[in-house]
Structure 1
């Protein structure tokens, strides 16, 4: 059983973390994916900047699977970025998660929340227009049996870019 926990996470600041960062771009009814700089796993600004630089006429999503502990979905929108964090408790140990909460204007969870179930925050309807509703995304984020990469693969499958994602991740 894959259990997500950040309670005993290594210091994640200023180092490259295990996981992946990628962009999923939808143009003319087709999806393509590309890797983002690994620094996006530790620096939210890097992820946002890279996604904005793609300058697509269609939708752009950023997907971060961080250190087998949590995931982030980002979506540039006019005037900002829409964000979804699978577990707010990760912000106690990971700068990128804390940055997500900061942009969402959500307080850090209390230290004792690390023993609780995952606590998703942000825009649960971030990919609703691609077939994965807010309620389903929240349930998926709370699924303790899955690692973040598996959760993002499920999101990709529901939204229609699982094949493109698999090609990039090899």
Structure 2
């Protein structure tokens, strides 16, 4: 007789998540730079925050991460402050990284009727993307997460650098 998993909807914590893109973006002397993040850096908001603190940017650093063409996470650190945005709250029921966003924000697990983003829509408002524009972008169900991040990067002034790093410029 086989035993059934009593919690089939809970992700296997030992499996690594299929990260599509993981980059840090930061400005030095007013010029944007985009660097790869290591797989170990994208385990949680805490590991992303720690990795971002290694970059010496003029206005902190921003992590741009997509997982399995399902969702994206933005994490921004500036000094001791960590701000986050999750593109789709329902991703937290399947992915550890998304669940760590809800933990960081002290939000409950989403109900089945919940959808939409979680976190700070104004995460990059001071860099050039208004929270309303972020909300409109996140409402566009036709865009994949990497396309949304490319749009954000373009609005902030490092679209070419992001697209090159992500291999999106050849599409």
Q: TM-score normalised to the size of structure 2?
A: 0.84
1:153 aligns with: 150
* Equivalent residues of 2:60, 2:79 under 8 A apart: no
CA RMSD between the two structures: 2.0
Structure of greater relative contact order (alpha carbons < 8 Å, 6+ residues apart): 1
Shift of residue 10 of structure 1? Answer: 10
Q: TM-score normalised to the size of structure 1?
A: 0.84
Secondary structure at the aligned position of 2:143 is classed as coil
* Aligned pairs for 1:158-169 within 5 A: 158-169=155-166
- Runs (4 or more) in structure 1 with deviation over 6 Å come to none
2:122 aligns with: 125
Tell me how far apart the structure 1 counterparts of residues 146 and 42 of structure 2 sit (CA, whole Å): 13
Shift of residue 54 of structure 1? Answer: 1.5
Gaps of 5+ in 1: 1-8
Larger Rg over CA atoms: 2
**C-alpha offsets along residues 32-89 of structure 1, whole Å, 9 cap, x if unaligned?**
1001012344433322211111133433111011111111111113333000111111
1:87 aligns with: 88
Gaps of 5+ in 2: 1-8
1:67 aligns with: 68
Structure 1 residues 12 and 159, CA gap change in structure 2 (3 angstroms): farther
2:48 aligns with: 47
* Equivalent residues of 1:40, 1:47 under 8 A apart: yes
**Greater helix proportion:** 1
Q: How many pairs are equivalent?
A: 158
